[in-house]
Amino acid sequence: MAPQTSPIVQVQGLTKTYSGGFTALDNLDFDAREGEILALLGPNGAGKTTLISTICGITRPTSGSVTVGGYDIRRDFRRARSMIGLVPQELVVEPFTKVKDTVAFSRGMFGKAPDPAHVEKVLKQLSLWDKRDNQVRELSGGMKRRVLIAKALAHEPRVLFLDEPTAGVDVELRKGMWDVVRELREQGVTVILTTHYIEEAEEMADRISVISAGRILLTEDKAALMRRMGHKELRIELSEPIAALPPALEGRGIELSEDGHSLIYSYDSSAERTGITRLLSALAEAGLVMSDLSTHQSSLEEIFVSLVHGPDDDNEREAAQ
Amino acid sequence: MNLQAVLTIYKAEMRRFFRTYQQSLIAPVISTSLYFVVFGTAIGGRIDQVEGVPYGAFIVPGLIMLSVMTQSIQNGSVGIYFPKFQGTIYEILSAPVTFIEVVAGYVGAAATKALAIGTIILITATFFVDFQILHPISMVAFLLMTCVCFALLGFIIGIWAQNFDQLSMIPVLVITPLVFLGGSFYSANMLPPFWEGVTRLNPVFYLISGFRWSFFGYADVPVGVSLIAIAIFTAVCLSVIWWIFRSGWRLRD
Ligand SMILES: Nc1ncnc2c1ncn2[C@@H]1O[C@H](COP(=O)(O)OP(=O)(O)OP(=O)(O)O)[C@@H](O)[C@H]1O
Ligand SMILES: [Mg+2]
């Protein structure tokens, strides 16, 4: 059994129907590879939290199988759960407990002997060491969020679920949190995170899973996804506006902007031949003088929106916002 | 068995108790003192003795039981209700533990607190009346068993309750009447035959009878019957909790 090929989290045919009859996960397949950062993206109500809760044992699966580190979450629940750390989406804390006590509590619940040195390390990593003797209710929202992360790390999990870890955390600390996550990956921890800040996924993730209506639409290497889905646009600013496209440039996928000041060329950045060289020489032949050049690549956010809503749906979504 | 988790829950619960120990201890001491003043003095002036025991002393076991049962239920229910209410229960549900560890931690702590309060009330009682304890070991055993089985009942109530009203309803609506009608302040054979029969349907009656026997050597029912009653009561509570965790009732969606 090669560790690279067997996923550390494997979800097969998972269905979750809540008691009210709503099916939040619909025969879903999902896996995470050891040591990767995987971003789980999906609109509100897609089933991200339900999926995480089911893997962690908080929600009961209706059918399907889940293994963590090869252990079935029901038959071998002790071993499976021992590997998992969970940062829930909601800010749920024990208000009257001291920060260091609540972190130590989490460690104990997972059967590990007290280790003040480890607790100290985690608290320092999350810039909470100064607050260790404060009651949790005395902390700000962003600090509480970090307490939840510290609690999840208290028992040295091998798989960490972060359900919107950076919601309500300021920019600077968010960057700090990304560093923590990267550090964890370097230690071999698998991190599965959800976020509505797509640029966060773009920045951090090795792979992206897109979930919608209880199904995984795709799971793909982030770079490959962006390459595959990403269209690049070359924008050529002309020193003199023109009234119409010169005949030599027609039929090459070039458009003239309305004011006649710029040419826009869309191409696939992953293609062998982008056609840029030929385009530029044709431009020179037509006697057009360029004043500026710029390129634009679609962001993960645009890719995500077009995946979840279909490419024609963009306007609708914008209107709804 | 995840003993570390048991210990962790137990310690966290005891810490919570010590944060508020003034309220936890003073309230029962004051209410017990009031009972002694009202029942012991006012009524005791009219009822001389019950089964050869001075009335003031006769009510001591019942008073201790009243507090211990109420406290066990309260502590047992609040202990698990709060994580549920705050949402911090996610941590217990996702930890590598079975219901046995969770129950041992919460119920153990709840029973410990109730036991401490029972002891303090016993000490308080010595300021008001003279009494002896004929069978101290069985007294402690009865006290302990009562603490545990009522903390188990409290644990069930804590999981069942969906708001604070429900949480406080059962102790007031069910336990207080059961204790009052369970022979805390009288002997069952002082009642007319019909009510004596009704009393025998009350599980608390058996606990108080056994507990009182440890003090005075006098019991309404044989001590063995009291023990069996406690065993049945505990087994029923444990089975209900086992079922709750198995089915996820009010714990897991
Ligand atoms: N306890 C529950 N009982 C019934 N339905 C639920 C429950 N929890 C979630 N759902 C439903 O399941 C669906 C998925 O919810 P879930 O919380 O998993 O979404 P999510 O992807 O995490 O969304 P968000 O981005 O808003 O956090 C939603 O339609 C939600 O209403
Ligand atoms: Mg969610």
Does residue B57 sit within a domain?
yes
- Give yes or no for residue A29 having a pLDDT over 50: yes
State percent of chain B over pLDDT 70.
100
Q: What is the pTM of this model?
A: 0.87
B3: chain A residues, CB-CB within 8 Å: 111
User: For the segment A141-197, what is each residue's pLDDT rounded down to a tens digit?
Assistant: 989 999 999 999 999 999 999 999 888 788 888 888 899 999 999 999 999 999 888
Residue of A54, A55, A58, A96 to mutate for B, most B C-beta atoms under 10 A: A58
Residue pair B68/B28 in contact by the 8 Å Cβ criterion: no
Choice between A102 and A199, residue whose per-residue pLDDT is larger: A102
Among positive and negative, which fits the CA dihedral B250, B20, B174, B234? Answer: positive
Cβ-defined contact of A109 to B97 (cutoff 8 Å): yes
A105 touches B at CB < 8 Å:
yes
Instruction: Decide if A202 contacts A300 (C-beta within 8 A).
Output: yes
The shortest CB-CB distance from B96 to any of A18, A78, A96 is to A78
Contacts of B2 in chain A (CB under 8 A): 78, 111
Scored b (16 or more CB within 10 A) or e, A225-235 reads bbeebbebebe
Nearest CA to ligand 1 atom 18: A47
A114: alpha, beta or left, given left = phi > 0 and alpha = psi -120 to 50? beta
Backbone angles phi, psi at A18, to 5 degrees: -70, 160
Q: What is the pLDDT of residue B2?
A: 94
Cα–Cα dist B120/B31, whole Å: 12
Pocket mutation for ligand 1, best pick of A22, A60, A197, A211 (most atoms within 8 Å of C-beta): A22
CA pair distance A158, A82, nearest whole angstrom:
9
User: From ligand 2's centre to the CA of B137, what distance in Å?
Assistant: 55
Note down the domain range covering B128: 3-247
pLDDT at A230: 67
Over the stretch A298-311, which tens digit does the pLDDT of each residue have?
777 777 777 777 65
The pLDDT of residue A237: 92
Alpha helices in A160-313 (DSSP H): 171-186, 198-204, 222-229, 276-285, 300-309
B67 to chain A, minimum CA–CA distance in Å?
26
pLDDT digits (tens, 9 = 90+) for A109-122: 999 999 999 999 99
How many beta-carbon contacts under 8 Å exist across A and B?
Answer: 78
Domains in chain A (CATH in brackets) are 231-297 (3.30.70)
Mutate to test the interface with A, among B78, B94, B99, B245 (most CBs of A within 10 A): B94
Residue A295's pLDDT is 84
ipTM of this complex: 0.90
Give the total number of structural domains in chain B. 1
pLDDT at A224: 83
B86 close to A (CB below 8 A): yes
Is B253 contained in some domain? Answer: no
- DSSP assignment of B65-120, as one string? HHHHHHHHHHHHHHHHHHHHHHSTHHHHHTSS--HHHHHHHHHHHHHHHHHHHHHH
Q: Which ligand is nearest to the CA of A24?
A: 1
Q: Order of strands, edge to edge, in the sheet holding A262-268?
A: A254-256, A262-268, A231-238, A290-297
CB atoms B94 and A108 under 8 Å: no
Q: What is the mean pLDDT of residues A201-224?
A: 91
Give the mean pLDDT of B17-40: 82
Beta strands A254-256 and A71-72 are unpaired
**End-to-end Cα spacing for chain A:** 48
Report strand pairing: A9-17 vs A63-68.
Answer: antiparallel
Q: Is residue B252 part of a domain?
A: no
CA–centroid distance, residue A49 to ligand 2 (Å) = 4
Evaluate the CA torsion angle A121, A127, A129, A131 in order and state its sign: negative
> Which runs of E-coded beta strand occur in chain B?
49-50, 53-54
- Give residue A42's Cα distance to chain centre: 9
pLDDT of residue B54: 86
Average pLDDT over residues B120-134: 90
Q: What are phi and psi of B97, to 5 degrees?
A: -135, 155
